[in-house]
Amino acid sequence: MENRIEALEEQMGEVKTTLQSLIEQMQTQSRVIGEMSKQLGKQKTAPENDTSVEVSSYNASRLAGKKVKLPIFEEHPG
């Protein structure tokens, strides 16, 4: 029984380490995304050039995540 407890404690330590690593990665990604958003905002005010495609792709991607409420369709017996 003691061996099982030690094994579980070791696994929990690994889980904690993995979670901490994931937290750090998410924080880094959040900072990068924030910086990219700032850069895209600056590019919108600049004259249009090759980056306009990237900006429109960004906007399309951003809009794709919006939820749309669809009407409920009733089935008619036929």
Q: List pLDDT tens digits, range 29-50.
A: 999 999 999 998 887 765 555 5
pLDDT over 80 at 8, yes or no: yes
The pTM is what? 0.47
Taking residues 3-19, report their average pLDDT.
Answer: 95
pLDDT of residue 42: 82
10: its two tokens: 């070791």
Query: What span, in angstroms and rounded, lies between the C-alpha atoms of 54 and 63?
Result: 14
Query: How far is residue 78's CA from residue 76's CA, in Å, rounded to a whole number?
Result: 6
Cα–Cα distance, 30 to 76 (Å, whole number): 49
Average pLDDT over residues 62-78: 62
Residue ranges per domain, the chain? 1-28
Average pLDDT value for residue range 6-18: 96
- Who wins on pLDDT, 78 or 34? 34
Calculate the average pLDDT of the chain.
79
